[in-house]
Structure 1
Amino acid sequence: MGERGRERLYFATTPVRITRSAIGKRLNILERIEKRHVFKLPYTNQLLSEIIESVQDFQIRRCLKVIDEFLEDGEPVILWRVQKKCAVQLHDFKKIIPKLEEYLSREKERN
Structure 2
Amino acid sequence: MKYKIYKDVSKNKIKNYIPPGYLSSLPASWPDQLTMIVFKTGRNDVVLSNTVADALMDKKMMGQENLIAFGGCFTIESIQLFRDKEIEYVALKEFPWTDERYKQIRMNSGG
TM above 0.5, yes or no, is no
Higher strand share: 2
Question: Scaled by the length of structure 2, what TM-score is found?
Answer: 0.30
Question: Scaled by the length of structure 1, what TM-score is found?
Answer: 0.30
- Give the structure, 1 or 2, with the largest relative contact order (CA under 8 Å, sep 6 or more): 2
Higher helix share: 1
